[in-house]
Structure 1
């Protein structure tokens, strides 16, 4: 390592003497910087103890660091409180979401059950309507057949009577019927 006195080589010895520049040699510049700082402290300090000044600077620095740590601790405490509040709110929201989910599922099941029941009732009504319609149509068809059979039988009977009855037989039947009506009248009087 170089001697401390080697750092105080006259400026004419350096190739860039007389001009201002940066010296990047750390070993050469560090002692120079220290000597400049000490010179400034001695010049401006005049009667101020260098160790007292350094002690004051360190105390100030220590106090700032302690204040920064204290502020950080307070911020950390506040952040922890906010985190606890946020977690509590999250738990509350999760519980509410679970309740909505359960209520939603039960509501869906209720609506499904109601829909199935109403559909069943509608199908039952349609089945009853269908059966009533079929019964009605059957009765109507039976009545039409009966009417047609009756008309056919009546036509056949009239045709048989017309072909079998002569005018004389016809007159005799009318006279007998008139006689029966007359006898009935006498009985009722």
Structure 2
């Protein structure tokens, strides 16, 4: 910026000199080196080049180092972001794998539970059938036993009635004698 202001100043000064020279005699070529300030301009440009080069070099060097630092910092942030992204993607992949494993385990558990419930239900139905058959058999045996008792009671009543009708005193005495005779033998 200092160089630009210096060049601007020199350009303004040269324009003023040209204006002064034009008012004296019109337009013409001035070949006098001392009057045209060409030596002064060369000296000023040389001084500016010599001292400005160091200043401009230093400024550009500082600017370049700042840009390099910014680039290095940006590259470091990019590497850190890439590392963080890779870690996040790895964690995501692990989480997805774990979710898939949990889902598969849940499906297996559900299938096992379903099979266990079906087996338990089948066993319950079988047990209920067996119990029903046993209850039916028990009830049938009770009914048969009850019928036997009734039939036996009815048979006994009929036999008693028939015995009373058929056996008179004389037949009873003969039956008793025969029984005693068979016992004595």
TM above 0.5: yes
Structure 2 residue 169 is matched with structure 1 residue 156? no
RMSD: 2.3
**Residue in 2 that maps onto 1:179:** 181
Give the alignment's TM-score, normalised by structure 1: 0.64
Deviation at 1:65, TM superposition (A): 2.7
Deviation at 1:168, TM superposition (A): 2.3
Runs of at least 5 residues in structure 1 that lack an aligned partner in the other structure: 5-47
Q: Counterpart of 1:65 in 2: which secondary structure? A: helix
**Residue in 1 that maps onto 2:107:** 105
Deviations 1:46-65 (A, max 9, x none): xx956754554444333323
**Residue in 2 that maps onto 1:71:** 73
Deviations 1:60-95 (A, max 9, x none): 333323311210111111110111122122112212
Aligned mates of 1:149, 1:71 — CA distance in 2? 113
* Structure 1 runs (4+) greater than 4 angstroms displaced: 48-55
Kindly report which structure 2 residues correspond to 1:3-22, keeping only aligned pairs within 5 A, or say none: none
Q: 1:90 aligns with which of 81, 92, 97?
A: 92
**Residue in 1 that maps onto 2:32:** none
**Residue in 1 that maps onto 2:135:** 133
Aligned mates of 2:145, 2:103 — CA distance in 1? 62
Aligned mates of 2:171, 2:84 — CA distance in 1? 124
Deviations 1:144-173 (A, max 9, x none): 011111101101110221133222221122
Q: Which has the higher helix share?
A: 2
Aligned mates of 1:89, 1:111 — CA distance in 2? 32
Higher relative contact order by CA 8 Å / sep ≥ 6: 1 or 2? 2
Deviations 1:13-39 (A, max 9, x none): xxxxxxxxxxxxxxxxxxxxxxxxxxx
